[in-house]
Structure 1
């Protein structure tokens, strides 16, 4: 691939390369086994080079997301730490990770999935915050992740869900443990 690239294409390629390094060599908590196997098979130089086309694909998905929903970026997602990983989760087919443009899924098919994933992540954050405030137990939401996903898909309010879940399991309210407005050492 030769030619000139826009600033956004360069930024996207760099973010993809950073993500690839994170999931293959830099961060044991984020490692993705089939990406590590791919790096071992094709080498770092090939992955770095393919980051150009992967970045262009990510940018196409991102552009579709922002065109479809002007509020897509509400919640201040980080492009390199949130959006690129959400998109790269779909750079795969039935055989595993994909790095060549001709094998990547259509950006139009991926954009709605990315939008849903990031909206769900935002919803989970709101639900965790509500559970912390109501029950001094933010992990309540993670402990019931399947119920949370169903509630999100139904369009339920995250605070109402956290309230319902705490009542369902007969939890003591946060002010029972922290009567002065603090929950688990954090001011609310």
Structure 2
């Protein structure tokens, strides 16, 4: 009796799109000149939690496993990203509506494509080579949600700064003027749950700004 031929795996258009966006992002992160890579490695040593450090890990993975393997695993990563997307949009379909899917949403998810040890990973289940399997999509979704909630808060503060003081850069200029830019008043306000209008009003008054007239609102 002839053995039945195994049917090839099939993917939806949505799954194909996610895999292509992942592959596009990984190429953006891992392809560059020797000088560019050296610059990333230098920045990664200064800050092991920076975007440069994340890129260095993916560059090293590509060198170890090869482009063909990474391209194939983009399917796995794409499916993982879709799980995160579904988790965060199940109760809010507009959760990602402010951002570009391929240039902002997918990269934000891939920053958290790590194993339990925190190292970059693109494997699931038993098919594991470097660093272990990907963390659970629900765990990654919490990190992604935090990041996008912060981005939304920052955008709302800029909008309020434009409306209240005709000075959209108020919040970013305040951060950059400090001796330690990471010591952000806006981040503190975000973590304490302070509403953007109240925070921006306080910040403008602190710098003794003149409120915007009706024509600037």
* TM-score (norm: length of structure 2): 0.70
> Cα RMSD between the aligned structures?
2.8
Residue 116 of structure 1 deviates from its aligned partner by 1.9
Question: Which deviates more, 159-168 or 41-50?
Answer: 159-168
Please state which structure has a larger fraction of its residues in strand.
1
Q: How does 1:1-188 map to 2 (within 5 A)?
A: 2-25=8-31, 32-74=55-97, 76-93=98-115, 94-102=117-125, 103-133=133-163, 134=165, 136=167, 138=169, 139-140=172-173, 142-143=175-176, 146-168=184-206, 170-173=207-210
Residue 174 of structure 1 deviates from its aligned partner by 6.9
The superposition leaves residues 58-81 of structure 1 with CA deviations (integer Å, 9 ceiling, x where unpaired) of 00110111114344134x321111
Please state which structure has a larger fraction of its residues in helix.
1
4+ residue segments displaced more than 4 Å? 26-31, 179-182
Could you tell me which runs of 5 or more consecutive residues in structure 2 were left unpaired when the two chains were aligned. Answer: 1-7, 41-50, 126-132
- Contact map agreement 1:135 1:171 (CA 8 A) in 2: no
Q: 3-state DSSP class of the match of 1:36?
A: helix
Query: If you compute each CA radius of gyration, which structure gives the higher value, 1 or 2?
Result: 2
Residue 180 of structure 1 deviates from its aligned partner by 9.9
